[in-house]
Amino acid sequence: MVLEIKEFPNVREFISYIDKEIDGLRKSLSKVLKDVEDLRAKAEKVRKLRETLARIVEGLEKTGSREVDLKDIKLIINPTVEDEARLMEDLISDMQERILTFQKVRKAVEPLMELGELPTAIKVVFKDGKPVKLLLRTV
C-alpha cells in the first residue's frame, strides 16, 4: 500500500489531473488489451503444439513455469505464455478499476466547480495511485 498526498491550486486543476490520468490509463489499457490478445493467440498455438507433441513423443515431460517466493516478490522461472497472459489480465483488471475510480471521483467533485475559485488549495490523498480523500480547508 502506497500513500501519497498531492496538492492542487483549485478544483479545476484537480479535475484536469483526473482527465489526464483517465486518458493515459485508457491509452495504456488499449495497448495492453492488444498485447493480451496476441498472447492468447500465441498461448493457444503453444497449447496445441504441446498436445500434438505429447501424442507423438511418448513420455514427453510437460514443461511449465516454476514460481519461487523471494519474500517480498515472486520469481517466475521460465514463464509460459499462459502465465504472461494471466499477469497481463490482472494488469487489465487493475487499470479498469483505476479508470472507474477516477471517473467516480470526477463526477463527485464536479459540483465544487460551480463554487468558482476557492480560497484554498486542495490536497488529495492517493492510495495505490487512486484518490481516496480530498482535503479542503474552509478556514
Supply the pLDDT for residue 127: 93
Residue 89 near residue 100, CB atoms below 8 Å: no
Residue type at 14 in one-letter notation: F
Supply the pLDDT for residue 82: 82
Helix (H) or strand (E) holding 32: helix 11-56
pTM of model > 0.85: no
Supply the pLDDT for residue 17: 95
Supply the pLDDT for residue 115: 72
The whole-angstrom separation of Cα 12 and Cα 110 is 9
pLDDT mean values, one per 10 residues, the chain (139 residues): 90 92 96 90 84 72 71 83 87 94 94 75 91 83
Supply the pLDDT for residue 59: 62
Supply the pLDDT for residue 55: 77
Q: What does each C-alpha distance from 60 to 42, 45, 55 come to in angstroms?
A: 21, 18, 9
**Per-residue DSSP letter, 63:** P
Supply the pLDDT for residue 45: 87
The domains of the chain are located at 3-136
The whole-angstrom separation of Cα 108 and Cα 132 is 12
Tell me the three cell numbers of residue 11: 478544483
